[in-house]
Amino acid sequence: MHNFQAVLETIYHDAINADDKGKVATYIPELAHIDKGNLGIHLRTSDGKEYGVGDYNKPFSIQSISKVLALSKAMSLIGEDIWERIDVEPSGNPFNFLSLLEIENGIPRNPLINSGAIVIADVLISNLKNPKEDFLNYVRELTGDNTINFNKAVAHSEKVTGFKNYAAANLLKSFKNLNNPVEDVLDFYFHQCSIEMTCSQLSKAFYLFANKGKCLKNKLHITEQQVKRINALMLTCGFYDEAGEFAFEVGLPGKSGVGGGIVALLPEKFVISTWSPGLNIKGNSKLGMLALEQFTTKTKLSIF
């Protein structure tokens, strides 16, 4: 039996004193000014116990972490039909993100890279009555917290600077892999990414992936089989081109975002969330990666 609170405090202490805290992402101007001295860690075990240190109750922009929640919502709506429009393999290509899409005829490599997540956004728009509200409500329901919201300023910031996402969406459209107008899809996508959550909210929101598809309220959102698919995708594709490194260093399915958040989980055991806005060269939170690596090393709780 682990004394989780003590473990979190130790790793927090080690991480916060690191000389190199990474670099805050600047390509979304609205996110560029956040203090990289922030570090929060939050652990929620499957039996409902919670442990937190540092800034685990400060909200941050979840960014790409939202892709996992969007995927689960889309799977709950249209099931396996998704895989006619998106593949499930790692992309392995940091340096030319549109090339593969072009060569592979507009079929994104997986739903956790931008082009794949844009297709998922398209699925949600086609299948939700009020896409933005309904998706937000889904996240609120998973978390049991109605205070969660979009950050309109961040969404707008991406809208006026997100040229690579416009390039990807238009390329998808040219391959007829978007059914809705580019503007509508990206408006949804930028809102989805702008959702703000705290570490402790994230740990709750991702509980269904550690609990066979059932959320905190014991409601079944996706099947056990779908959970397995999503966890496999997080493990193989959840960390940009550092997925292999994360699988080794941490050994848990997880997802990072350029806002500095990371969430990871061990099925039937726990969900752990970290936030620190300084990123390493691959775009993953520097202190977050360090903390998670230390956590699985110290507790020996990983899938391997």
Provide the annotated binding site for substrate. Answer: 64, 114, 158, 165, 189, 240, 258
CA distances from 241 to 91, 95, 263, 277, 279 (A): 8, 9, 17, 19, 14
Is 103 a binding residue for a copy of itself by CB under 8 A? The answer is yes
List CB contacts of 297: < 8 A, sequence separation 6 or more: none
71 vs 211: CA distance, rounded Å: 17
193 vs 282: CA distance, rounded Å: 19
Catalytic residue of the set 185, 189, 194, 285: 189
Is 247 a binding residue for a copy of itself by CB under 8 A? The answer is yes
Known active-site residue 51:
no
Whether the CB-CB separation of 88 and 229 falls below 8 Å is answered with yes
Looking at 38-46, 47-55, 214-222, 245-253, which segment touches a copy of itself (CB under 8 A)? 245-253
How many Cβ atoms from other residues are within 10 Å of residue 19's Cβ?
Answer: 4
Is 302 a binding residue for a copy of itself by CB under 8 A? The answer is yes
Which of 145, 241, 269, 301 binds a copy of itself (CB under 8 A)? It is: 241
- Using alpha carbons, select from 240, 254, 145 the residue that is nearest to residue 200: 145
Q: How far is the CB of 224 from a copy of itself (least distance, A)?
A: 9
Known active-site residue 176:
no
Looking at 30-38, 122-130, 161-169, 188-196, which segment touches a copy of itself (CB under 8 A)? 161-169
Is 179 a binding residue for a copy of itself by CB under 8 A? The answer is no
Catalytic residue of the set 21, 240, 276, 285: 240
Cα 259 from chain centre: 10
Q: Enumerate binding residues for a copy of itself (CB under 8 A).
A: 87-93, 95-100, 102-103, 109-110, 163-164, 166-168, 170-171, 173-174, 182, 227-229, 231-233, 235-237, 241-245, 247-248, 251, 253, 267, 302-304
Residues with active-site annotation? 64, 67, 189, 240, 258
